[in-house]
Amino acid sequence: MKQETAQHTPGPWKISPYCSTNICNGEETRHIASAGHATRASRWPEDEANARLIAAAPLLLEALKIQTAKITRYFETPPSKRGYFEAVDFNKEATAAIAATQP
């Protein structure tokens, strides 16, 4: 798999401490996205969940790259040499990335 240079603002990203629907970089020096209106009265119920999902995007992308590389190596390994613990690692890393999108 070809390694590409990121064309986006590097992670981590997080929910802004000033507005729960705005996403910024980890140092809070760059606005990344808005997942809804800034005023509470005009927000949709899913705006904060959308913001969490957007904020987790760099983590999810990195987990997907890691998993893709591991799965490729797993299937390139003869079945008699594959380990159970490799599959467990796949699950732990994917679960951690998904958890980052939850409240």
The per-residue pLDDT for 1 is 46
Domain borders along the chain are 11-55, 57-103
Mean pLDDT of the chain: 80
Q: For the segment 46-66, what is each residue's pLDDT rounded down to a tens digit? A: 888 889 999 999 988 888 888
Nearest to 46, CA basis, from 35, 57, 55, 38: 35
Q: What is the pTM of this model?
A: 0.71
Which residue matches tokens 């951690």? 96
What is the rounded distance in angstroms from the CA atom of residue 87 to the CA atom of residue 36? 38
